Structure 1
Amino acid sequence: MLSLLATLWLAAAPTKDAEPPVPRPPPPECLSSQGRTVCGYQCRSTGTHADCARTPYGVCQVLTGRVHCWDPPRVVIHHPPRSSARPECKESRGNVACGYNCRLSQGEVACNSTPYGVCSTHFGRLVCWDPPESVIHQYGARTPQPRCLNASEAVACGYDCKAQRAEVQCASTPDGVCRLDNQRFTCFDPPSLLHCDHSAPPPAD
């Protein structure tokens, strides 16, 4: 009787759910143009020139008669934003830039390397800045938004920015601090003590 009860108890005991399979990226593709074959992702061709992104997270666009491909840094692949932000390429007066948050201003074009960066225009000049990789590893999709601050013709981007008449400085991390005392700047960023262990890349969609 005891053995029967034990058998029934084991049969009814909850079993640990199997871990979901690691998502596999889509297979790469190959494209031939003018006797040359290229392989990768999002391959594009102009008829005389072809190219592909190296990862399924990249982008390829045909601009200025050429194929321009760009891949985000690994830190962005492992820490994607909550938003639907995706990399892109933009062109202005024959110049092409690829990345996130691309901006055009007076013939200039510039992009961020990560979706957590910021671009600003100052005196007709485009300035783009991205948080260090250690910050994105620490905060991931919750990475605080940096800002740009200007003083006269000077401009700087980051966190806790301080400015005086013709100079501006910022901390490089959200945990950093900048102080302006007696017309002197003091900025400090504590070191990151976090180490990320990525077991698998996120889905490419």
Structure 2
Amino acid sequence: MLSLLSALWLATAPVATSEPPVVRPPPPECVFSQGRSVCGYQCKRTATEVACARTPYGICEVLVGGVHCWDPPLVAIQHPPATGAKPECKELRGQVACGYNCRQFNGEVACNRTPYGVCSTNFNKLTCWDPPDAVIHQYGAQTPAPRCLNASEALACGYDCKATRTEVQCASTPDGVCRLDNQRFSCFDPPSLLHCDHSAPPPPRH
């Protein structure tokens, strides 16, 4: 009888799961200034302005006398880079840009919208390019790094770039291909056949 009761208890006992507990982000805050209340994350204020990021992954910086807030796109939140890159804001000559991998060049400032983009310069022009969201969903933290290639005054960024003396073209995905035959470009990107479903975003990094 004892062995039968033991067997019944084992059959009905809860099974421990190895899934880690869901880490909740910090609660948003509310800041009161200039007769109004503003709520969100990473809130900052000046003597005349107050603003907050909309997600715990965003940032707010006080630059050029104002508050500048920026939130990464959902794909960058769902697939954070292994390098731990964080968004930032930079200012140059009164211009402010926020994102990843921010660059300043020849009076311009620009950033990538994801941590997997690239910025390059050519003929006094600053260009930033990001892989499509479908690519980041497919590869995640292992998203291959794109490159930029220039040809005279032309500049293009992406994958498998090809160039003539005056023109350059690239594929938009790591699985794409570009060919150059008799000075004619042929570029093709296969469609993404993967779909990722996220039950919860990763905890924000601070």
TM-score by length of 2: 0.94
SS of the aligned residue for 1:198 comes to: coil
By how many angstroms is 1:8 displaced?
A: 4.2
**Deviation per residue, 1:16-35 (Å, 9 max, x gap):** 32343322111000112211
**Aligned residue in 1 for 2:2:** 4
Alignment of 1:1-205 (within 5 A): 3-8=1-6, 16-18=15-17, 19-205=19-205
Report the identity percentage: 73
By how many angstroms is 1:201 displaced?
A: 1.2
By how many angstroms is 1:204 displaced?
A: 1.1
SS of the aligned residue for 1:135 comes to: helix
Cα distance in structure 2, aligned partners of 1:198 and 1:8: 39
> What amino acid does structure 1 have at the position aligned with 2:187?
C
Cα distance in structure 2, aligned partners of 1:37 and 1:132: 37
Runs of 5+ consecutive residues of structure 2 not aligned to the other structure: none
SS of the aligned residue for 1:141 comes to: helix
Cα distance in structure 1, aligned partners of 2:185 and 2:151: 14
SS of the aligned residue for 1:103 comes to: strand
SS of the aligned residue for 1:120 comes to: strand
Cα distance in structure 2, aligned partners of 1:157 and 1:53: 30
> What amino acid does structure 2 have at the position aligned with 1:174?
P
Cα distance in structure 1, aligned partners of 2:189 and 2:56: 34
By how many angstroms is 1:4 displaced?
A: 2.6
> What amino acid does structure 2 have at the position aligned with 1:16?
V
Cα distance in structure 1, aligned partners of 2:33 and 2:48: 6
SS of the aligned residue for 1:192 comes to: coil
Cα distance in structure 2, aligned partners of 1:16 and 1:156: 55
**Deviation per residue, 1:93-124 (Å, 9 max, x gap):** 00000000000011110000000000001111
Cα distance in structure 1, aligned partners of 2:186 and 2:121: 25
Cα distance in structure 1, aligned partners of 2:25 and 2:7: 42
SS of the aligned residue for 1:136 comes to: helix
Cα distance in structure 2, aligned partners of 1:131 and 1:16: 42
By how many angstroms is 1:12 displaced?
A: 6.9
By how many angstroms is 1:138 displaced?
A: 0.3
By how many angstroms is 1:7 displaced?
A: 4.0
Cα distance in structure 2, aligned partners of 1:172 and 1:106: 27
Cα distance in structure 2, aligned partners of 1:178 and 1:161: 7
SS of the aligned residue for 1:76 comes to: helix
